[in-house]
Amino acid sequence: MSFELNSLLVSLHVTYIQNLGKNKDDLTYHLTAHLRMNAIYWGLTALCTMNHREALDRNEMIEYVMSCWDEETGGFGAHPDHDAHILSTLSAIQILITQDAIDILDIDRVAKFILSLQQPSGVFAGDSFGEVDTRFSYIAVNALSLLGRLGDLDVEKTVAYIVQCRNFDGGFGSRIGAESHASQAFVCCAALTILDRLDEVDAPTLSWWLAERQLPNGGLNGRPEKLEDVCYSFWVLASLSMLKKVHYIDSGKLTSFILSAQDPEGGGIADRPGDMPDVFHTHFGLAGLSILGYPGLVDLDPVYCMPAALIEKMGLRKGWQALERRAS
């Protein structure tokens, strides 16, 4: 592989995503069934970012999503007969909204499932066994907002827990006392943004901490003195876009880093150059490039991590700022 990866291989990535569902003679496909709903959301959103939404069959997708609904709890599992979890429930909602099929949903029951996961402390659990994480708080806020049910949420309690997870470095942890992590900065900033409480963020300190995620090779890490990874591109950039500081990152170097993690043979983007691609990093790499204004891509709403035009149409757009889309 001697040629330089200096442009985005759109058609290869589209084919890569289309082929994901056809890998049934690959063991990994079966071992990752517990991530299927998320994977479909990542694939669909990546396609939307590349302006190829139609590359996956819409009806088949909606049918699959609905086959994962758990009548008993009101939430979605990751795959038929898998337990309902807040992670797959948000992905299901995002897919249905992106496919303009949300009417198919029993919104009351889904909202009730999500609200039932809030704990007395204000944080959300992922499922009935009660593991808590500020990630789940964001997911709940995002999902309820998309369903138009934020009014049913105890906002004060939700915000109070998130604020207690704020650390001296400006970042946020997954629970009270936990170390800051770029993905946690994203979920907490985005939850507070949706709830119009971004004033709870120590913006100068957090922007500084986020800017220091960039390494000499252009890639971003998730916390101090760790390795770079394509997926952090999105979490760091999305947080910075809510703080209106995306320009704190060297966009040229980060763009090159993401492009260098593409697989020039089979398509898809990996965590770092030379590694196996997967749909998760493909989606977050493209999402990062979209925020950086990469030419030809579609605007992504960094708060909801969905096509910006869609969020705007729903009247949910908040005051984030990405880099201007370059013409070439």
Binding site for Zn ion (CB under 5 A): 229, 231, 271
Helix or strand (DSSP H, E) at 307: strand 306-307
- When the beta carbons of 231 and 242 are compared against Zn ion, the nearer one is 231
Q: Binds 208, which of Zn ion, another protein, none (CB < 5 to 8 A, cut-off by type)?
A: another protein
Contact between 272 and 284 under an 8 Å Cβ cutoff? The reply is: no
Collapsed DSSP state (helix, strand, coil) of residue 254: helix
Question: What's 306's DSSP letter?
Answer: E
Position 94: which residue type? Answer: Q
In whole angstroms, how close is the CB of 219 to another protein at the nearest point?
11
Closest to another protein by CB, 77 vs 307, is 77
100 Cβ contact partners less than 8 Å away, ≥ 6 residues apart: none
CB closer to Zn ion out of 241 and 282: 282
What residues contact 38, with CB distance under 8 A and at least 6 apart? 78, 87, 88, 91, 280
Query: Which of 200, 212 has the CB closer to another protein?
Result: 212
Pick the closer one to another protein by CB: 54 or 72. 72
Q: Could you list the residues that contact another protein (CB under 8 A)?
A: 25-27, 30-31, 33-35, 77, 81-83, 85, 127-129, 131, 167-169, 174-175, 177-181, 207-209, 211-212, 214, 216, 218, 223-226, 229, 245, 247-250, 253, 263, 265, 270-272, 274-278, 280-281
Closest contact distance (angstroms) between CB of 228 and Zn ion is: 9
Pairwise CA distance, residues 223 & 209, whole Å? 9
CB of 257 to Zn ion, least distance (A): 13
- Radius of gyration of the chain measured on its C-alpha atoms: 19
Quick one: which of 186, 283, 285, 281 has its CA closest to 242? 186
95 within 8 A of 44, measured Cβ to Cβ = yes
The option from Zn ion, another protein, none interacting with 325 (CB < 5 to 8 A, set by class) reads: none
CB of 310 to Zn ion, least distance (A): 25
| CB of 226 vs Zn ion, minimal distance in Å | 11
Compute how many other C-beta atoms are within 10 angstroms of the C-beta atom of residue 197. 16
Name which of Zn ion, another protein, none residue 233 binds, using a CB cut-off of 5 to 8 Å depending on partner kind. none
Q: Which residue is nearest to Zn ion (CB)?
A: 231
Nearer to another protein, 142 or 167 (CB): 167
State in angstroms the smallest separation of the CB of 302 from another protein: 18
* Minimal distance, residue 231 CB to Zn ion, in Å: 3
- Minimal distance, residue 12 CB to another protein, in Å: 14
- Using alpha carbons, list the distances in angstroms from residue 324 to 69, 292, 297: 39, 8, 11
Residue 85's binding partner among another protein, Zn ion, none (Cβ under 5 to 8 angstroms by kind) is another protein
Q: Which of 103/225 has CB closer to another protein?
A: 225
At 247, which amino acid appears?
Answer: H
- Residue (of 223, 233, 227, 295) closest to 258 by Cα position: 233
The two tokens of residue 318 are 């908040």
70 binds, among Zn ion, another protein, none (CB under 5 to 8 A by kind): none
Tally of residues, the chain: 328
DSSP H stretches of helix in 99-229: 107-115, 134-146, 155-164, 182-194, 203-211
Nearer to another protein, 145 or 251 (CB): 251
